[in-house]
A and B are shown apart, each in its own frame.
Chain A
Amino acid sequence: MEHLELFFKSIFIDNMVFATFLGMCSYLAVSKKVTTAVGLGAAVIFVLAVTVPLNWLLDQYLLQEGALAWLGSEYAEYDLSFLSFIMFIATIATMVQLVEIIVEKFSPSLYNSLGIFLPLIAVNCAILGGSLFMQSREIPSLGLALTYGVGSGIGWFLAILAIAAIREKIRYSSVPPALRGLGITFIITGLMAIGFMSFGGMLTGGDEEKKEKTTEVIVFSKLEKSTEVKKIDINEKSDTKEVAENIKEIEK
């Protein structure tokens, strides 16, 4: 159940493109044709599924505070988390290279369809973003890290597939000249992102509800403060009135 929830959450609610804008560069550059978009999307799913669990292991047994405890008690206090950027990007670059070599060796047909896109992927923000979000959201187990990687990969795949299909059709419509190409793609992506926001209510009890609650509390506390201030004002006014009345009485 936990896996299923994370899976759907990473595809729809926390969609890489529409919620966090990761991998926008290649999303915009490679979405002119559906076939190339499918190739890149498949490569992203594949690489995310490999690198997120791998970086989870690195994070858990090397980088986190106290992660080196397995080496011996004298290492238990080390905190190497400042190295995580460099470790993650090195893992990703090496894995991409490795995946490229392996795929070329064992499945030349897959290599021919993915081949050109694999080197591009090393610098795709979605891949590094996947690992960094995995770290900051503190995903608890290796299995869940795999689910998260595959889920966010599929989310990215869906997004690039959808925009490529729309861009193939939009060629036949009369867009204002200045908006042609890039401009209209941005606006369509914005509208799609609004559409994807409606998935937000799909799984209740997630992080978003908590966030909303905290903002509500802040607003309420502000309101309470302002009403308190007003009450005090009123009290002061009534005090002064009383004082004035007292003075009048004394004068009489």
Chain B
Amino acid sequence: MGLLSKKDAKLITDPLTDNNPITIQVLGICSALAITAELKASIVMSVSVLFVLGLGNVVISLMRNIIPSKIRIIVQLIVVATLVIIVDLVLKAFAYELSKTLSVFVGLIITNCIIMGRFEAFALGNGPWKSFLDGVGNSLGYAVILIIVGFFRELLGSGTLLGIKVLGDPIEKTGLYAFGYENNGFMLLSPMALIVVGLIIWVQRSRNQALIEEN
């Protein structure tokens, strides 16, 4: 463990569970919900956020001593916007279909509260290496929730995972469908994303009683 001391490792593992950006810190929910109808889209979104947050945290942390505090929000926005433009252009070049499904939500990474939240809370007060780890940790925490939600919504909603028909063919009536199983099309609609996240929070908080909120 030359590179990662115990403290550093904690920066990565904490956001995965007890300090998860979505379920505990309540950050970055906007984009997390809209694009989780397919597992593939949620994975791509997670990777994009990982890239933007990891690099953005390093850039902000390197500049933290020269940014005047009054205009720091604008500086942060410009840094994020530049990184997001890179992501957007890469997606348009190599995964055009997917960038159409994600539509405006790639652009909305700019105002994804996780990014601004981590800049404000961590990168402005810590060195570049720690900030990088914090960025990676938080975007992995974000990715975990996105992938769980995407997994259940795609599996129950269209019976596929990453486009592969894991439950059989609904038209040919093979696999589970031969026994009269039907896809729950409701899972593909937006309200179910909210309810699935609500249920994840429920599971997490009943396992870790310390996280329960006072009324």
Contacts and interface: CB of A to CB of B under 8 A. Distances in A.
Interface in A175-194: 175-187, 189-191, 193-194
B215 A180 contact: yes
Given A19-B190, A123-B111, A190 B81 contact: no
A178 B205 contact: yes
A86 B85 contact: yes
Interface residues of A, number: 54
Contacts of A133: 104
A122 interface: yes
Contact of B107 (A123, A132, A175): A132
B215 A186 contact: no
Interface stretch (B53-61, B121-129, B194-202): B194-202
A123 B191 contact: no
Interface residues of B, number: 49
Given A25-B26, A85-B88, A190 B104 contact: no
List 5 A-B pairs, minimum CB-CB distance, nearest first: A181-B213, A186-B198, A190-B194, A193-B191, A178-B205
A128 B111 contact: yes
A124 B111 contact: yes
A52 to B, nearest CB: 13
A119 B73 contact: yes
A171 B215 contact: yes
B138 interface: no
A50 to B, nearest CB: 17
A22 interface: yes
A86 B79 CA distance: 9
B116 A90 contact: no
Nearest to A133: B104
B3 interface: no
Given A93-B77, A123-B111, A128-B110, A179 B198 contact: yes
Contacts of B198: 179, 183-187, 190
Contacts of A85: 81, 84-85, 88, 107, 110
A176 B74 contact: no
A196 to B, nearest CB: 8
Interface string A47-73: 000000000000000000000000000
Contacts of B107: 84-85, 88, 128, 132
B6 to A, nearest CB: 30
B89 interface: yes
